[in-house]
């Protein structure tokens, strides 16, 4: 959900993705030194209006400033999966 209306000169908003620390992800596109399909772990969640992530991929490469254009969500950490949902 966008917080503000986008400016008329702004391009399309990147697809939103909601990740948490230590969540597994997969690269949707080829990145520098990271081929599409490579899995990794979220190291940092940053941003307010534009949510972006830093990921350590399984091939040892760490990449920042990634968002829904670059990543697809995988499994959440075990403790997050076991935590009961607030009702």
What local confidence, expressed as pLDDT, does residue 78 receive?
A: 78
What local confidence, expressed as pLDDT, does residue 1 receive?
A: 53
- pTM confidence score: 0.79
> Are the CB atoms for 29 and 13 separated by under 8 Å?
no
Q: How many domains in the chain?
A: 1
Characterize the bridge pairing of strands 62-66 and 39-46: unpaired
In a domain, 76, yes or no: yes
- Structural domain of 39: 24-82
Per residue of the chain (87 residues), give pLDDT as tens. 556 777 788 777 777 899 999 999 999 999 999 999 999 999 999 998 889 999 999 999 999 999 999 999 998 887 777 777 665
Half-sphere exposure (CA, 13 Å, Cβ side) for 75?
6
What local confidence, expressed as pLDDT, does residue 84 receive?
A: 76
In a domain, 9, yes or no: no
**CA angle 47–38–64, rounded 5-degree value:** 25
In a domain, 2, yes or no: no
């Amino acid at each position: 959900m966008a917080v503000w209306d986008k400016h008329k000169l702004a391009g399309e908003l990147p697809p939103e993705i909601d990740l948490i620390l230590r969540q597994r992800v997969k690269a949707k596109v080829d990145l520098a030194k990271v081929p599409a399909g490579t899995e990794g772990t979220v190291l940092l969640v940053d941003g307010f209006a534009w949510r972006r992530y830093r990921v350590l991929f399984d091939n040892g490469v760490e990449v920042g400033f990634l968002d829904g254009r670059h990543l697809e969500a995988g499994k959440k950490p075990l403790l997050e999966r076991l935590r009961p949902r607030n009702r």
